Amino acid sequence: MTVHAGPGPASWLSLRLACREPFDPAGLLGFLAARAIPGVEQVTGTGYTRTVRTPGGPGVIELAPRPGQAHVLLRARPREPAAPSQLVAACRRLLDADADPAAIDAVLAADPMLAPLVRARPGLRVPGAYDGFELAVRAVLGQQVSVAAARTFAGRLAARYGHRIPPGTGPPGLTVLFPGPAELAGADLSGLGLTTARQRTLRALASAAAAGRLSLGPGADPAETAAQLAGLPGIGPWTVGYIMLRSGADPDRFPAGDLGLRRALARLGGTPEQAARWRPWRGYAAIHLWTWEADHA
């Protein structure tokens, strides 16, 4: 990690985050772009930007890959965050920067069906989550709907219950912090387009997180978190698997019932049972299949 402080009173803190090579930033950014929450996240030709909570108040981060270089430039505002180590750790999880792409690609490329996908995108990462609770909410919103619909629901939720950030904190279009557990635990979620069952699940999820009965942070025990999630109403195997995969807690998760994965496998001549060959990196195979399906939609 290399620190570069920009000039001027409104400068951002700048850090270089090393990533193991090979690294496929285009695949990562494409995945994030399709799911970017309006008002909270943006993906442009230069990188990924989002609003964040910090101990010192609301802020904005920008992650900009450098073509041909084994690092991503992290810029953060405020320039002197109260907990820079936590900020860096969250961004590294989001980038999956500490993965071992050579070992992962070697396993997946041994399968004739996946080999062309791995050659096309060496070093493809599992897009992580900056915040565990936000990811869990997004997973619930994504149940049995399209990626675009889930993004729309998340934007409506953020617009209604997210905290506005001070003007000038970030680029135009980034206006709110995604709501936390306390904001959603007792929230009236009607009028957002969600089913009554989905509303009940979100409130149960938020209540469990707010009360400390559900651990979604990076230090949580994966088995315990998965069990806690499965015990909530309306959260089944797909939702648990998606959360555990993208949180970085279980890189071998493969949500076999996912419609997009089944569609990609069918088009490629594969079956869900084939996933047993990809252990212990079935999660990376899922990202390859989702990415391939999106590229060939």
Query: Given this model, what pLDDT does residue 139 score?
Result: 97
- Choose, from 96, 131, 250, 258, the residue flagged as catalytic: 258
Query: Given this model, what pLDDT does residue 57 score?
Result: 84
CB atoms within 10 A of CB 79: 16
- What the block records as the tokens of 192 is 């957002």
Q: Which domains does the chain carry?
A: 2-96 (3.30.310.20)
- What the block records as the tokens of 186 is 């007792």
Residue 50 backbone dihedrals phi, psi, to 5 degrees: -155, 160
pLDDT tens track of the chain, all 297 residues? 444 444 344 578 899 999 999 999 999 999 999 999 999 999 998 899 999 998 778 999 999 998 778 899 999 987 666 678 888 999 999 999 999 999 999 999 999 999 999 999 999 999 999 999 999 999 999 999 999 999 999 999 999 999 999 988 888 999 999 999 999 999 999 999 999 999 999 999 999 999 999 999 888 899 999 999 999 999 999 999 999 999 988 999 999 889 999 999 999 999 999 999 999 999 999 999 999 999 998
Catalytic annotation present for 258: yes
* CA-CA-CA-CA torsion sign (51, 177, 125, 34): negative
Model confidence pTM above 0.85 = yes
Query: Given this model, what pLDDT does residue 145 score?
Result: 94
Pairing verdict, β 71-77 and 13-18: antiparallel
